[in-house]
Amino acid sequence: MAAVATIIVLAAMVGTASAADEDGGKLRQGFYDQSCPRAEQIVRHYMEQHVPHAPSVAATLLRTHFHDCFVRGCDGSVLLNGTNGNEAEKDSPPNASLRGFAFVDRVKAVVEQECPGVVSCADVLALAARDAIGVIGGPFWRVPTGRRDGRVSLKQEALDQIPGPTMNFTDLLASFQSKGLELPDLVWLSGAHTIGIAHCDSFSERLYNFTGRGGPSDADPSLNPVYAANLRRTKCATPTDNTTIVEMDPGSFLTFDLGYYRGLLKSRGLFQSDHALLMDAAARADVESVASGPPEVFFQLFARSMVRLGMLEVKTGGEGEIRRHCAVVNS
Ligand code: HEM
Ligand SMILES: *[C@@H]1O[C@H](CO)[C@@H](O)[C@H](O)[C@H]1NC(C)=O
Ligand SMILES: *[C@@H]1O[C@H](CO)[C@@H](O)[C@H](O)[C@H]1NC(C)=O
Ligand SMILES: *[C@@H]1O[C@H](CO)[C@@H](O)[C@H](O)[C@H]1NC(C)=O
Ligand SMILES: *[C@@H]1O[C@H](CO)[C@@H](O)[C@H](O)[C@H]1NC(C)=O
Ligand SMILES: CC(=O)N[C@H]1CO[C@H](CO)[C@@H](O)[C@@H]1O
């Protein structure tokens, strides 16, 4: 109890708190308790069975959930395949590296076996992301359920609305605020980059010819020069490499820890959008305050922002549908 109280006090010190944190908005804890009582247990069990063999999928699922929520709300639209006449969110460059679609489809299939047509893909994704992070020892957050699935997925909307790695602080904050999130959500949710990987072409513009001066070491001056040189030498050996992957929190990319924030403070954030968190006084103060630990404080703040992310523009009640297969709308 004492530890928990300490965490809450520390969390309060670093900001964020709103009434919306305490309820699920239009969603409800245990929405499927009557209609599919084992739904949440099935998802959790599936994650416990499969994530240990493929722990990198946890990062992918978390990112996919984020991309889902940032375009048309958390409605599973990111999971839809394109059709003949339409390129979907999946077909946009920001999604090019989302790898968890087949995984989500399999979880959904198991849930469908138990209760056909009851549990939405948006909820399956939200639960799967939460439980996968739990399996790798990360934070736990409440996932109120009752999301309905959308029937529309447009490539252009993902292009326009998913924040990009070259964004500065002003644009990142504007992006989050356009979704009803706030500065603390930007700071804590960016902490997701403590796990997972990036492809060289997501950040190599920082390594080569950054100022246009040219020359072998024309890197982004805000990137740690030792780290930049190391990335050029051992990872992203050409400016056009789009296949090599790099751990975003080198050495602990499968562990949800404080490595991301500690790296930021050494100018080792991989993207300009990561480093941007140091460019605003309030954001920087938040980063500094969690970086020294304990990790439970970050976990608590991250969890609170995840609940907020998971509620964005959800469809409920009679809106949308319960997709039978996550990649296609019901006919
Ligand atoms: C703040 C704005 C953000 C930007 C600009 C951004 C950008 C990116 C980029 C460019 C990648 C690498 C993609 C690749 O090269 O393969 C990435 C990876 C990732 N992002 Fe973000 N991101 C942001 C926020 C978030 C949020 C809010 C979350 C989740 C809460 C998140 C979770 C992740 C994860 C887990 C990965 C690793 C994916 C994997 O290993 O498959 N990001 N992000
Ligand atoms: C969706 O697209 C993927 C990748 O192109 C494909 O493997 C999968 O079979 C498609 N799913 C459906 C239900 O059409
Ligand atoms: C942030 O980036 C945008 C678009 O690239 C630019 O218009 C704006 O001036 C930048 N803001 C700051 C404070 O650098
Ligand atoms: C570096 O950038 C400058 C300005 O954009 C360009 O003129 C030059 O050709 C670039 N050099 C290389 C090696 O790409
Ligand atoms: C990587 O770059 C090559 C050459 O420019 C291109 O043909 C290929 O489609 C790119 N791959 C990805 C995944 O973007
Ligand atoms: C997984 C997936 O559908 N990735 C697509 C993302 O978008 C690019 C185009 O920008 C496609 O080539 C990928 O297939």
**pLDDT score for 217:** 83
Burial of 233 (0-12, 13-18, 19+ CB in 10 A): exposed
pLDDT tens digit string along 284-328? 999 999 999 899 999 999 999 999 999 999 999 999 999 999 999
Query: Backbone phi, then psi, for 52, in 5-degree steps?
Result: -60, -30
- Tell me the two tokens of residue 211: 């100022």
**pLDDT score for 95:** 66
- Tell me the two tokens of residue 112: 């469908």
Q: Are 42 and 110 in contact (CB under 8 A)?
A: yes
- Name the one residue in this structure whose structure tokens are 């549908």: 321
Does 9 or 89 have the greater pLDDT score? 89
Other Cβ atoms within 10 Å of 137 Cβ, number: 13
Q: Are 145 and 32 in contact (CB under 8 A)?
A: yes
Contacts of 104 (CB under 8 A, 6+ apart): 61, 64, 79, 121, 124, 125, 128, 326
**pLDDT score for 23:** 60
Q: Are 280 and 258 in contact (CB under 8 A)?
A: no
Answer whether 0.85 is exceeded by the pTM: yes
Other Cβ atoms within 10 Å of 19 Cβ, number: 6
- The ligand 2 atom at the shortest distance from the C-alpha of residue 81 is 1
Report the chain's mean pLDDT, rounded to a whole number: 92
pLDDT interval class at 258 (50, 70, 90): very high
Which three-class secondary structure state does DSSP give residue 149? Answer: strand
In the chain, what percentage of residues exceed pLDDT 90? 87
What is d(CA 239, CA 161) in angstroms, rounded to the nearest whole number? 26
Ligand closest to Cα of 239 equals: 4
**pLDDT score for 3:** 42
Contacts of 119 (CB under 8 A, 6+ apart): 32, 36, 39, 108, 111, 112, 322
- The ligand 1 atom at the shortest distance from the C-alpha of residue 66 is 29
Contacts of 234 (CB under 8 A, 6+ apart): none
What is d(CA 232, CA 207) in angstroms, rounded to the nearest whole number? 7
- Tell me the two tokens of residue 168: 């500065």
CA of 94 to the centre of ligand 6 (A): 8
Q: Are 16 and 305 in contact (CB under 8 A)?
A: yes
Count of residues in the chain: 331
Q: Are 284 and 47 in contact (CB under 8 A)?
A: no
Query: Backbone phi, then psi, for 321, in 5-degree steps?
Result: -155, 175
**pLDDT score for 277:** 98
**pLDDT score for 96:** 63
Q: Whose CA is nearest to atom 11 of ligand 4?
A: 214
What is d(CA 162, CA 169) in angstroms, rounded to the nearest whole number? 15
pLDDT tens digit string along 146-157? 999 999 999 999
pLDDT tens digit string along 52-96? 999 999 999 999 999 999 999 999 999 999 998 899 999 987 766
pLDDT tens digit string along 89-137? 999 877 666 778 999 999 999 999 999 999 999 999 999 999 999 999 9
Tell me what percent of the chain is helix, strand and coil, each rounded to the nearest 5: 50, 5, 45
**pLDDT score for 320:** 97
**pLDDT score for 214:** 84
What is d(CA 231, CA 204) in angstroms, rounded to the nearest whole number? 9
**pLDDT score for 97:** 65
CA of 63 to the centre of ligand 1 (A): 6
Instruction: Name the residue of 208, 209, 210, 213 to mutate for ligand 4: max ligand atoms within 8 A of Cβ.
Output: 209
Which amino acid type is present at position 289?
A: S
Reply yes or no on whether the pLDDT at 7 is more than 80: no
Instruction: State mean pLDDT over 228-240.
Output: 96
CA of 202 to the centre of ligand 6 (A): 15
Reply yes or no on whether the pLDDT at 165 is more than 80: yes
